[in-house]
Amino acid sequence: MTSRTVAFGTGVYNGGATTVTGTTMVAGTAATEFGRVTEVVGFLLIGTLGFVGVLGSGGSTDGGVTRTRECLLIDPKEHPMLLAEPSSNTQQQRERAAELMFEKYMVPALFLAKNAVLTSFASGRATSLVVDSGGGSTTVAPVHDGYVLQKAVLSSPIGGDFLADCLTKSLESKGITIKPRYAFKRKEIRAGEFQTVDVDFPNTTESYKLYSQRVIASDIKECVCRAPDTPYDESAYSNIPMTPYELPDGQTIEIGADRFKTPDVLFNPSLVQTIPGMECFAETAASVRGLPQMVIESINKCDVDIRRELFSSILLAGGTASMQQLKERLEKDLLEESPQAARVKVLASGNATERRFSVWIGGSILASLGSFQQMWFSKSESSVCSTLTFARVAEAV
Amino acid sequence: MDAKDILGLPKTAIPIPQEKKSRSQKDSQRKPDGISREVYALTGGMPPLMPTIDSSQLKKRPPVDEKITWQWLPFTNSARKDNLQLYHWVRVVNGVPPTGDYSFAKYNKSIDIVQYTDEEYAKHLADPSWTKEETDRLFELCKQFDLRFIVIADRFPSSRTVEELKNRYYSVSRSILMARATSPGDVTGNPLVKETYNVSQEKERKRALSMVLSQTKQQERKDAEILADAKRISESRVAARGAEESELPVASSAGHDNADRADVPGDTVSPSLNVQLPSAAVAPSTLMADNAATIASLRMLRVYLRTYALDQMIQAASSSAGLRTIKRVEQTLQDLGVNLKPRVPTKAVCAEHLELRKEILTLLNLQKQLQYKEAEGSSFRDHPYETPGTPKDRMFVPDSMSFGGERVGKRDQKRKAPGRISEAPSSPAQSKRPRKLKASDL
């Protein structure tokens, strides 16, 4: 379970009326501890004015908050909480989250914000098209005037994890197996030289094994993979030079065409069929569209008046979006398919960390605003209102 | 200098007072108190004519008697309807916390949406396509989302378009306002009453906009290619058919110009028309073709001088002739007393001039032909048995033709000048070509 603690600086604004302090804790997509978490979970404590967390599916939030409490040593009773939820969250899940927060953790106030809106705020825009490609999935959501247009939200199951799996299978077909970190030990026989000894843990669960392999494969993907400039073509990439990569067990592998093939799955999901071992996903992949097509489709589902504005402010967010050359490739593909009259501009913050945590950053910005303080949904309001009203209020943003 | 440094001797006495002087000068120009030197330098470094920065303001230290602390205090927000108490850091002066409302409460603005009662609904607002629940829901959403209709349309339970929602909202508001008004004069100033929402216009505008935005770049490129092809085809049709103008077809969904949308999409229509006519037409003369081609090229220019046009036509007409022939034409013109360029270039005059030139050209060509034939004839008469079989046959047939033509030509020449000239264009125009061909064969 990877977790990083980053200290966030203090800021003073509005003549000193509010101070923003906080620590962030990030929990990775953990297959073991939190059950099936599909979203990156991040928590921010904002100077006891607010608390931002990202909802996963169901039970994960519970574990997430508990863990945060342990790490940050805070008492939820004192802090209003801002939760970021997926753009296509159902009413039920929202209610459950609110219930959990109020009943179990007894937060004084709560607000549920959508991921896409927070990403949009992080880049200072009220209207934009957010392309969020994280570990589990890729979501394209248009935001207009601070609200997500839900009928135009599209998502595809191809995310960072899927790409890591593709890479793993591709390497396996070439005879390279990725050994999970727990499965071997490196002993120093002589000075500077190591020998790997296989350690056997017969009772490890499949999911943990998969998770550990994914960690390594993700690292390979982040280091080595690049989005190709043109759609992937077997013949064109057959002769490219191989890049070496050293696995944790000392093995050095050479990666050639897979460097470009794997990221191209984002743009062309049918490529999955050419990867041996991934045939089980072939049917799902056939129904899934590539990223540029999703963007165009999402924009076309919106009202005509805002299409131009959406085209000119397409935001990239998420871990997978920090892949090299992804922004350029997406821009190029969109220029081909977009209308003549619209100016296409894809924006992404230069910093990879910022891209990854743009939701969190947006949440931090939102919760520190003076005019946001009237929008908290307090416990008293929740007890007074009926579920329907709560639902409406809570999904305000 | 270095030696003195090494020895540790003091530097010469003379520069020292200078340094002192310059230093004291700088001191007088020194920055005013309160700001650092660099900041002062940013403003120009010199004291300004008018004091732009009040230096007393710049580094205002808080008065010593006040004691400032920062405290974590609860606050109430009048913009909130419940009594949630949140905490924040507050600047406390002398132990007295600031009073007054939360400073951001004043930003809580919302739009006044009309609220109708059930009776009012029953009386004024019933509509066949809208139920009461839908209308109620619409108004709730309008209140919640501050009339952001795009978002409202997105959240509306049934799928209504933005125009329908806007229409319903504005018409309901309007009816309510007018129904509640004590007299019609009260509400005529209200923008809701003054301007009605025009659904059909909005729909039309959106349809047009969506058409504009649905043209992808690939389609634009294909359109451009098709346009280029059509242009080429139509121009060749113009040349073949004669002086019919083909309007440049513009794609009906072209870009931003409203004018373009009004143009007839002639893309598919004109080439088809052009296809049918030439098949029926007889292959026209090259002279006519030249003329038509130049006319077509001239029509490409919007504005041109008639003399320029005349020159083009003359050039086109005499393109088949050599330089010497052109000179002879001009010589003939001068002999006849006609200016090389008409002095008053009106339409009729230019046309006549052109005709004259053409006729002279024809005349000269005929004369040349005549000379050739006479030479042949004389050589043939002189040496009747010399030439071998096949060429003789070949010569024989064209000879008879040429004799016939000659006679015609001779007859023509015997006639008076004006008559000859006037008749010249029709027959030689057609017989000229076969004769010319035969001459080149031989």
Is A51 a member of any domain? Answer: yes
Is A234 a member of any domain? Answer: yes
| Beta-carbon count within 10 A of B60 CB | 9
In this structure, of A361-365, B74-78, B163-167, B287-291, the range with the lowest mean pLDDT score is B287-291
Q: Which domain holds residue A186?
A: 160-286
Domain ranges of chain B: 61-107, 118-197, 209-243, 304-380
A222 pLDDT higher than 70: yes
Averaged pLDDT, B265-292:
45
Measured CA to CA, the distance from residue B363 to residue B371 in angstroms comes to: 12
The predicted pLDDT at position A375 comes to 85
| Domain termination residue (choose one: A286, A301, A323) | A286
B69 pLDDT higher than 70: yes
Higher pLDDT, A58 or B147: B147
Averaged pLDDT, B229-236:
92
CATH of the domain at A367: 3.30.420.40
Is A173 a member of any domain? Answer: yes
Measured CA to CA, the distance from residue A258 to residue A358 in angstroms comes to: 29
Give the chain B residue nearest A144 (alpha carbons). Answer: B151
CATH of the domain at A175: 3.90.640.10
Query: Would the CA dihedral through A246, A250, A254, A258 be positive or negative?
Result: negative
Higher pLDDT, A117 or B71: A117
Confidence of residue A131 (pLDDT cuts 50, 70, 90): very high
What's the complex ipTM?
A: 0.77
Task: Give the residue from B68, B78, B88, B110 with the most A CB atoms within 10 Å of its CB, the best one to mutate.
Answer: B88
Q: What confidence tens digit (pLDDT) does each residue in A249-290 have?
A: 888 888 888 888 889 988 988 888 888 877 777 777 778 889
Choose among A174, A176, A117: nearest CA to A149: A117
Averaged pLDDT, A212-219:
90
The predicted pLDDT at position B59 comes to 73
Q: What confidence tens digit (pLDDT) does each residue in B323-372 have?
A: 888 888 888 888 888 888 888 888 888 888 888 888 888 898 899 999 99
The predicted pLDDT at position A6 comes to 26
CB A299 within 8 A of CB A129: yes
The CATH number of B118-197 is 1.10.10.60
Reduced 3-state DSSP string for B113-165: CCCCCHHHHHHHHCECCECHHHHHHHHHHHHHHCCCHHHHHHHCCCCCCHHHH
Domain total in chain A: 2
Chain B residues whose C-beta is within 8 A of a chain A C-beta are 70, 72, 77, 79-84, 86-91, 102-105, 107-108, 144-145, 148, 150-151, 153-155, 162, 206, 209-210, 212-218, 220, 255-256
Same domain, A189 and A253: yes
| Domain termination residue (choose one: A249, A266, A286) | A286
Q: Do B90 and A17 touch (CB under 8 A)?
A: yes
Of B108, B162, B255, nearest to A303 by CB-CB distance is B162
Measured CA to CA, the distance from residue B345 to residue B343 in angstroms comes to: 6
**Mean of pLDDT over chain B:** 72
Is A369 a member of any domain? Answer: yes
The predicted pLDDT at position A392 comes to 52
Give the chain A residue nearest B215 (alpha carbons). Answer: A339
Measured CA to CA, the distance from residue B50 to residue B31 in angstroms comes to: 15
Give the chain B residue nearest A382 (alpha carbons). Answer: B82
Same domain, A111 and A219: no
Q: Do B86 and A109 touch (CB under 8 A)?
A: yes
Is A41 a member of any domain? Answer: yes
Is A133 a member of any domain? Answer: no
Confidence of residue B266 (pLDDT cuts 50, 70, 90): very low
What is the pTM for the complete model shown?
0.62
Measured CA to CA, the distance from residue A231 to residue A237 in angstroms comes to: 11
| Beta-carbon count within 10 A of B216 CB | 17
Residue B38 CB burial class (10 angstroms; 0-12, 13-18, ≥19): exposed
